Chains A and B, each alone.
Chain A
Amino acid sequence: MEKYYEKELLEELHDIQETYGFISEEDILRISEKRDIPKAHLYGVISFYSMFHLKPTGKYIIKVCDSVSCSLNHSADIVKVIKEHLGIGENETTRDKKFSLEVVECLGHCDEGPVMIINDTYYTHLTTNKVVQILDNLD
């Protein structure tokens, strides 16, 4: 699949992501036509990079790790409390477009778990109380 990871394509995807906050189905179909790349493969490329989103996302994107270490440290509880507090599920966005929730693979802070990252900020050694506080303090 390497041949589709051309710089030009990635730049175009990047522009769309930056401008609209996500890449829509119509965008993919248009690029597929223009660049003569099968749409399934484009989907593969887009899903490979975590910076691309296929749905509109909130102002804050919360990514909670559920890889081995974090999940031993009860990351599932963290996910649960976020879902309850915000009233959204995985890969969903709150009505007010403030928060989106994603569950992701290892964030590289395994000895400080459970771990989450909101936009560019890491939060480690999370507890359920701490998470609620963090979310409430963001505006």
Chain B
Amino acid sequence: MKVKINNKEYEFQEELSILDAVKKAHIIIPTLCYSEKLKPFGSCRLCSVEIKGERTLKPACVTKISNGMEIYTHSEKVRKVRSTIMELIIASHGISCNLNCLTCSKSASCEIKVIAEEIGIMEVRVPPISSRVPEDRSSYSIVREPQKCIVCDRCVRKCAEVQSVNILTIANRGPDTYVTTFLDKGMGNVDCVNCGQCVIECPTGALHEVYQTDQVWNVISDNSKYVIVQTAPAVRVAIAEEFGAEPGRIVTKQLVTGLRLLGFDKVFDTNFSADLTIMEEASEFLERFKNGGKLPLFTSCSPGWIKFIEHNYPEFLDNLSTCKSPQQMFGAIAKTYYADKIGIPREDMIVVSIMPCTAKKYERVRPEMKGDVDYVLTTRELAKMFKLAGIDLLNLPSEEYDEPLGITTGAAAIFGATGGVMEAALRTAYEVITGKTLERLDFESVRGIEGIKEAVIEIDGLKLNVAVVNGLGNARKMLDMIKNGEKDYHFIEFMACPGGCIGGGGQPIPTTKEILSKRMKAIYEIDKSFEIRKSHENPAIQALYKEFLGEPLSEKSHELLHTTYIARS
């Protein structure tokens, strides 16, 4: 197919959208409602282009190229129209002294600011229109500020198309159109699973996490409290992006140094409790397997996934592992075993988590969790704290995690990527079942970014059918297949976010496919760099069982490390 773009001829094989064709010609057209992972919507009209012979401009994201088409992407007419559209968007955005870019949650990643510059907006001739829709602060995880919403529908589509949760909708029409939840009940009062995928999709500051940075500043400076921090596996491969580094940069040891500079009394690792999770979960699996317990076993470390199954598939609750997530296990051990060990009164021990996840903010307050964790910050919130403290993360010297809750293995490191929990569990299960040493540690078949992966793992003649699922849309597909009897497995790993925690709702923005695979590569690099790559060989975990827990699934383990679920339909 021959197409002329700005008078230059190009040839394309497929029937691309004008937007995709133009991209291949290395021309940038501004877009707002378009997103690579979602169905095109065609509402913002910023991508409008001129086509020879057509009276009106056409939106490039929803118009296909055709043979002989002559497209003008930046003609004078296009530039004028685009600039008027942009002015209206800015006006509808209602920026004012109280509501401005300097104080906005997205000040560093705002797409409107970038586009305003691309289009060269110098003045806005229309007065700001402020929305009458009130803020939504009903959720423990996410805040909605409709004054900043430009109704691009991306959050609505992300929640529906990628997550299949369908929480958000566009309501009303005309200038009164706004984004909301069922009957305006608010995100905290509907079936929202707090995954935060809508937050990372939003081009503006209309959606962001519930901030806890102020509380953390306060508690750090409170000398009567012993404040420890844990860092999730996916944070160390992503936080550097907030400081302008290439995606995939590993800053584990700088992160430790930075947290010490902020004033935490001890810097520990969620990877420690990831190893602990493997001990409990692998034992739980083997017990169910031997004694005819409920299978397939579903993993339980992703709180977004947990809330999803509680709302939508309560009939499967017995399949869930009873293991708490690593974040909660960490808190439970820190406030008992560790507090006693160092002689700090349990009630003075404060646990802060740094998570790639917004759902962990909700998990923290679940009554079943009994206050294991006190504050949860996202990767983005921690970056803000570092900046506020003048900490130049990328150039900090390297330091090591504190002992003993900072001693970890390669198996724990991979929890951050989809497939990691499965692989770590297999490494341990293999050795427990066979009593032999596992030679090849890499289970390649469960790695990679695809939404659903399956593998048959042979252990001493025993065939284990396993699957790995990420993204809730894929989880829904998987559960429906099991329900209809189309699929049968022994063990399935589920993660709410596309790509697993490296693509979590609290991670740096943007999170594109390309960025995800770079973060994933970094995760497996970290695994390789460890001498010990199996959870059960972690000496600190071995000591914990010896000194305190006894053995996996002991009474004490059950009391501290396991939980229950609620049917919410």
Chain A residues packing against B (C-beta within 8 Å): 1, 25, 28, 38-41, 43-44, 47-48, 54, 105
Contact, CB under 8 Å: B182 / A48: no
CA distance A99 to B285 in the complex (A): 64
B502 adjacent to chain A (CB < 8 Å): no
Chain B residues packing against A (C-beta within 8 Å): 160, 166-176, 180-183, 190
Neighbour of A1 across the interface among B167, B170, B172, B175, CB < 8 A: B170
**How far apart are A29's CB and chain B's nearest CB, in angstroms?**
9
Neighbour of B167 across the interface among A28, A40, A48, A105, CB < 8 A: A40
CA distance A56 to B181 in the complex (A): 21
Q: Which residue of B lies closest to A48 (CB)?
A: B173
Neighbour of B169 across the interface among A25, A40, A54, A105, CB < 8 A: A40
Neighbour of A43 across the interface among B171, B173, B174, CB < 8 A: B171
Contact, CB under 8 Å: A47 / B172: yes
Majority DSSP secondary structure for residues of B touching A: mixed
A25-B183, A38-B160, A54-B183 given; A44·B176 CB < 8 A: no
CA distance A39 to B246 in the complex (A): 41
On chain A, the residues within 8 Å of B170 by CB distance are: 1, 44
On chain A, the residues within 8 Å of B171 by CB distance are: 43-44, 47-48
On chain A, the residues within 8 Å of B168 by CB distance are: 40
CA distance A38 to B164 in the complex (A): 10
A105-B174, A105-B175, A105-B176 given; A44·B183 CB < 8 A: no
On chain A, the residues within 8 Å of B183 by CB distance are: 25, 28, 43, 54
Contact, CB under 8 Å: B182 / A43: yes
Contact, CB under 8 Å: B173 / A40: no
On chain B, the residues within 8 Å of A54 by CB distance are: 183
Majority DSSP secondary structure for residues of A touching B: helix
7 A/B residue pairs, CB under 8 Å, sorted by A: A40-B167, A40-B182, A40-B190, A41-B169, A43-B182, A43-B183, A105-B176
On chain A, the residues within 8 Å of B180 by CB distance are: 43
On chain A, the residues within 8 Å of B174 by CB distance are: 105
CA distance A38 to B176 in the complex (A): 22
Neighbour of B166 across the interface among A28, A41, A47, A105, CB < 8 A: A41
Q: Which of A28, A47, A48 has the most CB of B within 10 A?
A: A47
**How far apart are B189's CB and chain A's nearest CB, in angstroms?**
12
**How far apart are A68's CB and chain B's nearest CB, in angstroms?**
10
Q: Which residue of B lies closest to A44 (CB)?
A: B169
**How far apart are B477's CB and chain A's nearest CB, in angstroms?**
15
Contact, CB under 8 Å: A38 / B173: no
**How far apart are B10's CB and chain A's nearest CB, in angstroms?**
32
Q: Which residue of B lies closest to A46 (CB)?
A: B171
Contact, CB under 8 Å: B169 / A43: yes
On chain A, the residues within 8 Å of B169 by CB distance are: 38, 40-41, 43-44
Contact, CB under 8 Å: A39 / B182: yes
Q: Which residue of A lies closest to B184 (CB)?
A: A43
Neighbour of B172 across the interface among A39, A40, A48, CB < 8 A: A48
On chain A, the residues within 8 Å of B175 by CB distance are: 105
**How far apart are B184's CB and chain A's nearest CB, in angstroms?**
8
Q: A41-B166, A44-B171, A105-B176 are in contact. List 19 more A-B contacts (CB 8 A).
A: A1-B170, A25-B183, A38-B160, A38-B166, A38-B169, A39-B182, A40-B167, A40-B169, A40-B181, A40-B182, A41-B169, A43-B169, A44-B169, A44-B170, A47-B171, A48-B171, A48-B172, A54-B183, A105-B174
**How far apart are A50's CB and chain B's nearest CB, in angstroms?**
9
On chain A, the residues within 8 Å of B167 by CB distance are: 40
